[in-house]
Structure 1
């Protein structure tokens, strides 16, 4: 690369990570965002201590629409298939647009490696299909504590390898992107690392990483958050990590905490997070490391956004989703 081209590339990537300090000013939080956050805290404060219940019960309630937040309608685009994984069958929920897909987005849901499902993400994934023309493949990976690490990354690796093998034949395209929210962001990066290191593959053109947990040793924002139940608090994170690593694992292993990884050779990434997220530092730390490894990176920080705020209605979610849709489409 010529010096001029290198200077241009460096300037472009640096600009992508430039932040206006005013986004962290509480005065920058819009009134509807404040109202949403207050409603979430009120709703979760009224719920009995959920950690006295088995995870399996919490999952069942969520799928029945009896959790603290509404269950999105089922997408008419959705179908479920099973593929063979390292540990056994892995369910993939596939949303295919009515016209030939422009690409395929491998989505990995959040839920602290313990909760969540592809079905619960039909709302956001249906919108993704409608706005981008991409198909979405959402993986139902093994959940802790019944299936602790490395079950989840094993299943996500299997889903990614299936897409590499079958994507062109099934969808008519090899234009692939990957992404996820919270624990799903963690697993998306772990999947990229596994494909690169175990298989010599770099098939994804973009990574869409929202409010990921990238250091299970807990970054300062996660440690210092405290008890406020704005979707996720410090106790919740510790509970999730305890279940996920129930059978052991080095917390600094990149497969567990991608913040510690060698990040060279990974695709352009959009990092999205809100300023009122306990995992704020995870994104603020990983995005510059992504850039320092020589990868393109964009950082989008939204004033007042709670943990995975894109899953709640509001102007902030609309803005963030529009940017992520544009990012995936462009890559």
Structure 2
């Protein structure tokens, strides 16, 4: 049962209030991302902006190249600290955020380093093809290929048995869709032991919280999320088909999931609806709701972020 007190504005701490105001002000001071070329937006995101400072790239990162559906597919790999972990305990397949349109496999190295060192997991992030140049199902096909490789040759190469998967926003969407493809196309419903799903975009037809959010860009707004969905899915495709929006899929037989979301996230309904359907399917897991948290609030340092990351660490460690 969800604690309704989590949605009481009085439960939002001053640090979160201050952060949210700073994010809104920083976005308001920048050019609208849809008014400039997509290539420039991607470049600015990689360099970092006042609204979203770039995460440092890891000096430990390696690249693994596997066969993808459209040619070679790169996986960014970060191993745990060998001084702490003499043997790998498992693997975490990460799928990056960015609305299927922005982002890259090297833009969240600190998260992967943390999971690697806290859990003893080898972490891999998929460099999937981006829309609108490569619309649905290109990104999903790349993630499916990465998951199949990890569940087969990769599993043997690393000498591990415990596989986990996860992502943020569009990455959480692709993580769930990948699990569904493994179950339905490859008879591998439990190839992965669990899923870490942060602020997922699970209904490309748009849930009420997305439609009603408005213009305020607290990381993203209604226009942003609508444009992401439009760029990813071609005209004429039903946005609420189960193979497009996992909220409408049959979810039985999937692994436990940790759902995380803030109450000030336009995608709040996506997590509330999806986690309820996940539980109703008997898959198990936990839903963590954070008062005042913005979209993928774990991107920003703070006490609430640390609590959320610690819960993710514990969830993944329990699966090994």
Normalising by structure 2, we get a TM-score of 0.95
Partner of 2:316: 328
Deviation of 1:77 (Å): 2.2
Partner of 2:196: 208
Partner of 2:234: 246
In structure 1, which of residues 95, 119, 131 is the aligned counterpart of residue 106 of structure 2? 119
The C-alpha deviation readout for 1:200-248, integer Å capped at 9, x for no partner, is: 0121001110000100111010110001110011000111111101354
Partner of 1:73: 56
CA contact (8 A) 1:186 1:213 kept: yes
Cα distance in 2 for residues equivalent to 1:149 and 1:67: 31
Asked if 1:186 corresponds to 2:173, the answer is yes
CA contact (8 A) 1:113 1:152 kept: yes
Partner of 1:4: none
Asked if 1:166 corresponds to 2:153, the answer is yes
Moved more, 297-306 or 80-89: 80-89
The C-alpha deviation readout for 1:107-136, integer Å capped at 9, x for no partner, is: 001100000111111121112212211111
Partner of 1:108: 95
Structure 1 alignment gaps of length 5 or more: 1-17
CA contact (8 A) 1:124 1:311 kept: no
Cα distance in 2 for residues equivalent to 1:43 and 1:261: 38
Deviation of 1:312 (Å): 0.7
Secondary structure in 1 aligned to 2:42?
Answer: helix
Cα distance in 1 for residues equivalent to 2:64 and 2:51: 29
Cα distance in 2 for residues equivalent to 1:190 and 1:52: 31
Partner of 1:15: none
Asked if 1:43 corresponds to 2:26, the answer is yes
Structure 2 alignment gaps of length 5 or more: none
In structure 1, which of residues 259, 266, 277 is the aligned counterpart of residue 247 of structure 2? 259
Cα distance in 1 for residues equivalent to 2:243 and 2:88: 31
Cα distance in 2 for residues equivalent to 1:249 and 1:288: 26
CA contact (8 A) 1:167 1:174 kept: no
Asked if 1:232 corresponds to 2:232, the answer is no
Secondary structure in 2 aligned to 1:218?
Answer: coil
Cα distance in 1 for residues equivalent to 2:51 and 2:235: 30
Partner of 1:313: 301
The C-alpha deviation readout for 1:240-289, integer Å capped at 9, x for no partner, is: 11110135422122221000000010000111000000000000001111
Secondary structure in 1 aligned to 2:317?
Answer: helix
Partner of 2:182: 195
Normalising by structure 1, we get a TM-score of 0.92
Asked if 1:84 corresponds to 2:70, the answer is no
| Cα distance change, pair 92–247 in 1 and its aligned pair in 2 (3 A) | farther
Moved more, 311-320 or 46-55: 46-55
Asked if 1:144 corresponds to 2:131, the answer is yes
Runs of 4+ more than 3 Å apart? 65-68
CA contact (8 A) 1:149 1:249 kept: no
The C-alpha deviation readout for 1:157-182, integer Å capped at 9, x for no partner, is: 00000101123332210200010100
Cα distance in 2 for residues equivalent to 1:213 and 1:161: 23
Asked if 1:223 corresponds to 2:211, the answer is yes
Cα distance in 2 for residues equivalent to 1:84 and 1:288: 36
Partner of 1:293: 281
Cα distance in 2 for residues equivalent to 1:133 and 1:228: 40
In structure 2, which of residues 69, 75, 79 is the aligned counterpart of residue 96 of structure 1? 79
Secondary structure in 2 aligned to 1:89?
Answer: strand
Cα distance in 2 for residues equivalent to 1:159 and 1:234: 31
Higher helix share: 1
CA contact (8 A) 2:298 2:308 kept: yes
Deviation of 1:65 (Å): 3.2
